[in-house]
């Protein structure tokens, strides 16, 4: 699965640490999500969508 997390984060000028804090996960998890090494759980995906104020399908794609 692909995602636009890195782009969205860069648009807001957030560091990995800031995004990790918003999501309640570690920086390593943010890194793993951004590099496509880990697909988030549904609750985490919803949280990401809420934080970036975008629908899930505009952040994640197959």
Residue for token pair 């988030």: 40
Least Å distance between CB 2 and other proteins?
16
- Nearer Cβ to other proteins (4/27): 27
Per DSSP, the three-state class of 4 is coil
Least Å distance between CB 56 and other proteins?
16
Whole-angstrom CA distances from 16 to 30, 50, 62 are 6, 17, 23
Site for other proteins, rule CB under 8 A:
15-17, 24-29, 31-32, 35, 37-38, 40-41, 44
């Amino acid at each position: 699965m692909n995602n636009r997390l890195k782009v969205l984060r860069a648009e807001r000028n957030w560091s990995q640490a800031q995004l990790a804090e918003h999501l309640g996960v570690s920086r390593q998890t943010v890194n793993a999500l951004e590099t496509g090494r880990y697909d988030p759980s549904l609750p985490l995906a919803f949280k990401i969508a809420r934080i970036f104020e975008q629908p899930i399908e505009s952040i994640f794609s197959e």
